[in-house]
């Protein structure tokens, strides 16, 4: 069974605890602190595997953990870092937060590997806490906890063109004629239960990738049948070939069929209804007399004023197929090569500091603005300020948490100093 969505639990590793110990050697009566630091927890990473094309593996394994960092040891021994957990997914997988449905990452095109949950930092050993007034510190820093969340994986096939329509209108026959794909073909509903991908090769120009989206039915947008599973695969496509049974071999009105399917596309995602579309009026090889001209005229009168061209074709005989494919290629050239990518909507870093308190105060003696509290300590513990992404998160954190607003309320001016634990910087608006 083809699986194109899965719900899994993921967790990064906890940082190892710092160690409390003191140097004990012969002839050294009172050695100083020598507790080592804990190791860093492993990251939870998603990575594309070109050899995968379904999410079937996630039906059997639903929990993925990176390992914890080892605690520090005596004699300044640093604990070993935890091992990263790399989760392999097929190209086109979108990772969403299960609670909000927001996009965390789109594993596609340039984004081949992404750290989704960072491991916790290891705690500092007691050697770091020695001061002239506290020469035997009996305290070490605990490791930072790992991060955890439940995510939804959705596989959205990567194709330039989506082939849509009711079941049994000839999509699989068309795909087998124009590509190297070998879909199963039979005369019953839901013959195609998996999206079939194929490459269309055209003489004199580059080809394109086309996906046969399994037959949609009325109510698909509400999840009737396998509606949601099928509809999500259309979201990456740049253009749709809407195939209809122009000869009404099953007694359905092709005009109504198109309107129903377009209604389902709009109900599922209004953006889909705005995508370029072309109608392939199939099965014209079984018309008698003037029937073809009558039906095609009705379709053209209805849809071409809306900017949707109609091509009479026969997937069986090949009639009109070449004209349709070259038209589609021209449209793709106009649309351009920019891929359909799902923008990041959910920032996992926000999990770290969501509900923790903090304070913003002014130290009049040192003339320094001090920001501290569990929320600040956690944020600094997980954020790499040397990286561009980490610095962007830090700036967003200052704004969205209200810290900048509170600093301004306390009268901070350009050039004033702000201190956050070990971090100190000058404020400029």
By three-state DSSP, how is residue 303 classified?
A: helix
**Strands of the 417-420 sheet, one edge to the other:** 359-363, 368-372, 417-420, 423-426
How do strand 417-420 and strand 423-426 relate by DSSP bridges? antiparallel
The burial class, CB within 10 Å (0-12 / 13-18 / 19+), for 155 is: buried
Token pair 């040397």 in the structure block, residue: 386
What pLDDT does residue 186 have? 40
Report the phi/psi class of residue 369: left, alpha or beta, with left for phi > 0 and alpha for psi in -120 to 50: beta
Among 282, 283, 264, smallest CA distance to 273 is for 264
CA distance 3 to 125: 47
Instruction: Identify any residues that bridge with 301 across adjacent strands, giving them in sequence order.
Output: none
What pLDDT does residue 29 have? 61
Predicted confidence (pLDDT) at residue 41 exceeds the cutoff of 60: yes
CB 28 within 8 A of CB 53: no
Among 146, 115, 163, smallest CA distance to 389 is for 115
Q: Which two tokens stand for residue 261?
A: 């399917």
pTM higher than 0.85: no
CA distance 174 to 280: 10
What pLDDT does residue 420 have? 84
List, in order, residues 6 or more apart from 1 with CB less than 8 Å away.
Answer: 56
Give tens-digit pLDDT for 137-188: 887 888 888 889 999 998 887 788 988 888 888 888 888 888 865 544 444 3
Share of the chain residues as helix, strand and coil, in percent rounded to the nearest 5 = 25, 25, 50
Sign of CA dihedral 245, 246, 251, 254: positive
Average pLDDT over residues 327-337: 90
Mean of pLDDT over the chain: 82
- pLDDT band at residue 351 under the 50/70/90 scheme: low
Give tens-digit pLDDT for 174-225: 888 888 655 444 443 444 456 677 888 888 888 888 888 775 655 544 544 4
What pLDDT does residue 224 have? 45
Give tens-digit pLDDT for 2-32: 557 889 999 999 999 999 888 777 666 667 8
> How distant is the alpha carbon of residue 189 from its chain centre?
32
CA distance 198 to 214: 14
CA distance 165 to 211: 12
Q: Which residue has the higher pLDDT, 100 or 80?
A: 80
Among 149, 140, 282, smallest CA distance to 215 is for 282
Radius of gyration of the chain (CA): 30
Range ranked top by mean pLDDT from 52-66, 353-367, 386-400: 52-66
CA distance 6 to 12: 19
Among 40, 3, 63, smallest CA distance to 144 is for 40
Angle between helices 171-178 and 321-335 (to 10 degrees): 80
What pLDDT does residue 240 have? 92
Give tens-digit pLDDT for 245-259: 888 877 888 898 888
């Amino acid at each position: 069974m083809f699986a194109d969505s899965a719900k899994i639990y993921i967790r990064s590793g906890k940082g190892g605890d710092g160690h409390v110990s003191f140097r004990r050697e012969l002839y050294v009566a009172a050695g100083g602190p020598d507790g080592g630091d804990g190791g860093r927890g492993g990251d939870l990473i998603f990575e594309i595997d070109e050899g995968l094309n379904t999410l079937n593996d996630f039906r059997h394994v639903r929990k993925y953990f990176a390992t914890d960092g080892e605690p520090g040891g005596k004699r300044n021994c640093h604990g070993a870092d935890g091992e990263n957990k790399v989760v392999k997914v097929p190209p086109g997988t979108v990772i969403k937060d299960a609670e909000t449905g927001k996009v965390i990452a789109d594993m596609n095109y340039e984004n081949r590997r992404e750290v989704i949950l960072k491991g916790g930092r290891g705690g500092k050993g007691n050697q770091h806490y020695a001061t002239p007034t506290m020469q035997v510190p009996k305290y070490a820093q605990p490791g930072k906890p790992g991060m955890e969340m439940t995510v939804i994986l959705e596989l959205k096939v990567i194709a330039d063109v989506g082939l849509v329509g009711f079941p049994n209108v000839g999509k699989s026959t068309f795909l087998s004629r124009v590509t190297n794909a070998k879909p199963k073909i039979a005369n019953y509903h839901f013959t195609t239960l998996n999206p079939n991908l194929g490459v269309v090769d055209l003489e004199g120009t580059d080809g394109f990738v086309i996906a046969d989206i399994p037959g949609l039915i009325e109510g698909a947008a509400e999840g009737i049948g396998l509606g949601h599973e099928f509809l999500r695969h259309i979201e990456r496509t740049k253009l749709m070939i809407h195939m209809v049974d122009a000869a009404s071999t099953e007694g359905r009105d092709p005009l109504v069929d198109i309107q129903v399917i377009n209604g389902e596309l709009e109900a599922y995602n209004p953006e889909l209804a705005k995508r370029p579309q072309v109608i392939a009026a199939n099965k014209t090889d079984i018309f008698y007399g003037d029937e073809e001209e009558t039906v095609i005229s009705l379709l053209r009168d209805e849809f071409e004023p809306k900017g949707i061209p109609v091509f009479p074709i026969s997937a069986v005989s090949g009639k009109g197929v070449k004209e349709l494919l070259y038209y589609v290629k021209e449209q793709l050239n106009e649309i351009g090569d920019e891929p359909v990518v799902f923008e990041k909507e959910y920032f996992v870093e926000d999990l770290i500091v969501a509900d923790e308190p903090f304070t913003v105060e002014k130290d009049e003696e040192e003339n320094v603005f001090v920001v501290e509290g569990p929320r600040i300590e956690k944020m600094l513990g997980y954020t790499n300020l040397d990286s561009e992404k980490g610095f962007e998160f830090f700036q967003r954190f200052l704004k969205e948490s209200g810290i900048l607003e509170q600093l301004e309320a306390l009268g901070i001016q350009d050039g004033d100093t702000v201190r956050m634990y070990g971090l100190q910087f000058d404020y400029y608006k």
